[in-house]
Amino acid sequence: MKIEYPSENWKDYCLVDSGRGEKLERFGPYVMARPEPKALWDKSLPEAEWKKLSHVRFTPGAGFGKAGKEDSGTWDRLRKMDDQWSIIYKGQPDPETHAASDLDISLRLGLTAFKHVGVFPEQAPNWEFIFRETSRLVRIHQANGLPAPKVLNLFAYTGGASLAAKAAGADVTHLDSVRQVVTWARENMERSGLDGIRWIVEDALKFARREARRGNTYQGIILDPPAYGHGPDGEKWKLDELLFDLLKNVSAILAPRNSFLVLNLYSNGYSAMLGETLVREAFGIRPDGESSSKHTGECLLLESGELALRDSFGKVLPLSIFVRMKR
């Protein structure tokens, strides 16, 4: 199992400290304190220092911890700051060739009523994988006179992964059930100097089923489903009940060769091995990497692990699990 972190060279983000159910983070010029249930240890800095450094602190509301209201609350402003601001993410050199990366995206941030600010910084290693794999597929398609590879991002939020795929040259479809975050993602595309992403506001499972019926395929599929959620027409999403069904439909629309998959899960209690087993079973991948189904092709890579942040004092905060496949 792998453990991956954002590069220490990312100048616009830093996990300053963590502990006692909170994390202290810097996004660009602003520092904020937010709840983090996985930070079970003591803080390294005293409370007075947290207060001195913080521009804002998130105070959980009455529904905090309840399904559908896990992250509700309010921001307490301690120092002057803008309501909205931007950070930059620049890609890291290719780990094999050491060539410089063309990944350079801008993300607009803001304080929401649900603890989030518009980016999950631990996702940076996934962005790097998506950019590298999409670039690989673009080269293959160009060499064979094919159109740009198609990448589908489900539960796409504000679009960091969509921008990574687009920056590499993909034909990107970005889907989320919340219109406001799709609008936010479009703004991030424009800030990043990109264009041409296809925007869809719809239920992810419904869309995947329809694409499977139509026989449409994609060369890259990215999934970051929540534990609970609702589609734009009131469709109910519950991870434990619907994830495997979604993955089986995704297996039908992912191209059998020269393709990749990224699955990210934040739900507590889900392990990397559980995620990997779900992907193996949905795609019919045997332990030797060969396919047990004529529809899935040969698996060249199947890896799983955790995405984590490391604070300034060396404490490691694991936040999500990932499964990646390429073939």
Note whether 194 and 160 are within 8 A (CB): no
- Distance (Å, rounded) from C-alpha 70 to C-alpha 60? 9
Q: Looking at residue 63, what is its pLDDT?
A: 58
Which tokens belong to 88?
Answer: 């930059």
pLDDT tens digit string along 11-29? 999 999 999 999 999 999 9
All domains in the chain, ordered by first residue: 7-89 (2.60.40.1180), 116-326 (3.40.50.150)
The model's pLDDT over 289-327, given as tens digits with 9 standing for 90+, comes to 555 554 556 788 999 999 999 999 999 999 999 999 999
Specify the higher pLDDT residue, 200 or 233.
200
Share of the chain above pLDDT 70, in %: 94
Report how far residue 221's alpha carbon sits from residue 173's, in angstroms, rounded to the nearest whole number.
10
- Residue-level pLDDT at 203: 97
**Pairing relationship of beta strands 171-176 and 198-201 according to DSSP bridges:** parallel
Task: Check whether 177 has a pLDDT greater than 80.
Answer: yes
**What average pLDDT does the segment 172-182 reach?**
97
Direct distance between the N- and C-terminal alpha carbons of the chain, in angstroms, rounded to an integer: 20
Q: Is the pLDDT of residue 251 over 90?
A: yes
Q: Which helix (H) or strand (E) holds 154?
A: strand 150-154
DSSP string across 214-256: HT--BSEEEE---SEEE-TTS-EEEHHHHHHHHHHHHHHHB-S
pLDDT value of position 205: 97
Instruction: Report which secondary-structure segment, H or E, holds 149.
Output: none
Task: Name the residue with higher pLDDT: 182 or 99.
Answer: 182
Q: 289-308 in b/e burial notation, b at 16+ Cβ within 10 A?
A: eebeeeebbebeebebbbbb
Question: 132-146, 174-188, 215-229, 290-304: lowest mean pLDDT where?
Answer: 290-304
Q: Which residues have a Cβ under 8 Å from the Cβ of 172 and sit 6 or more positions away?
A: 150, 151, 152, 153, 162, 165, 166, 196, 197, 198
Is it the case that residue 59 has pLDDT exceeding 90?
A: yes
pLDDT score recorded for residue 306: 97
Average pLDDT (216-234) is 94
Average pLDDT, the chain: 93
pLDDT at 229 over 80: yes
Q: Is the pLDDT of residue 188 over 60?
A: yes
